[in-house]
Amino acid sequence: MPESAVSRYSTPAVALHWLLAVLITGTFALGLYMHELPVSPQRLKLYSWHKWAGVVILALSVLRLVVRLRSPRPRELAMSGWQRSAAHATHHALYLLFFAVPLAGWAYSSASGFPVVLFGVLPLPDFVPVDKELAATLKGLHKTLALTLGALVLLHLAAVFKHQLIDRDGLLARMGFGRA
């Protein structure tokens, strides 16, 4: 949707932003932690949690995209052309990675022969065949995409701090709860 005269994002957009921020950060940290563990029941449990979180992130990302496309966006802040272009490119890349990271992880799990069973009760379909070479490729892809997402999140945070502390343009209030 085009820009509008609203001064903040809708409550559903804000709620999904912060919920996904927490889930993505936690899932990223869990991924960094668990891959170093020796094979054990604890590691298997953490991998299951990681997969479940990835599926939830994927589902919430679909919902977030729908809300984003259907809700009016706040008017853009005053900034230079290159900053506006960088902000748009970063947001597009973030949205792409919200889908690509969990899908690559799901494909890696499928190719490895370890299906995703959501919450231990709902088996999800494998969408790639079991194939060790493909699994190795997908593992690297999942890791690269996740690290790229992590780097873009840090860039996003740096831009937020710049807007809040240097520009003092109210950017952070647009993604807060409450009234405008």
Are 112 and 118 spatial neighbours (Cβ–Cβ below 8 Å)? no
**Are the C-beta atoms of 124 and 116 separated by less than 8 Å?**
yes
Is residue 26's pLDDT more than 90? yes
In this structure, which topology does domain 11-175 adopt according to CATH?
Fumarate Reductase Cytochrome B subunit (1.20.950)
Task: For the chain, give the percent of residues with pLDDT over 90.
Answer: 74
Mean pLDDT of the 96-108 span: 98
Alpha-carbon distances, residue 139 vs 77, 131, 172 (angstroms): 39, 12, 35
Show me where the domains of the chain are located.
11-175
Going by C-alpha positions, the residue among 48, 176, 170, 153 that lies closest to residue 91 is 153
Going from the C-alpha of 84 to that of each of 54, 80, 88, 89, the distances in angstroms are: 30, 6, 6, 9
Question: What band does 78 get if pLDDT is binned at 50, 70 and 90?
Answer: confident
Please give the pLDDT value at position 77. 79
Instruction: Compute the distance between CA of residue 160 and CA of residue 168 in angstroms, rounded to an integer.
Output: 10
pLDDT of residue 98: 97
pLDDT tens for each residue of 28-53: 999 999 988 999 999 999 999 999 99
Please tell me which residue, 73 or 62, carries the higher pLDDT value. Answer: 62
Residue 94 CB neighbours (<10 A): 18
Average pLDDT, the chain: 91
pTM of the model: 0.90
Residue 4: band (very low, low, confident or very high) from pLDDT cuts 50, 70, 90: low
More reliable by pLDDT, 169 or 179: 169
Q: How confident is the model at residue 81 (pLDDT cuts 50, 70, 90)?
A: confident
Residues 6 or more apart in contact with residue 43 via CB below 8 angstroms: 34, 37
Q: What are the tokens at 139?
A: 């593992």
Report whether pLDDT(3) > 70. Answer: no
Q: Look up tokens 């960088």; give the residue.
A: 86
pLDDT value of residue 173: 84
Nearest to 142 by CA among 65, 64, 51, 63: 51
Summarised one tens digit per residue, pLDDT across range 127-174 is 899 999 999 999 999 999 999 999 999 999 999 999 889 988 877 888
Rounded Cα distance between 31 and 13, Å, is 26
- pLDDT, position 73: 83
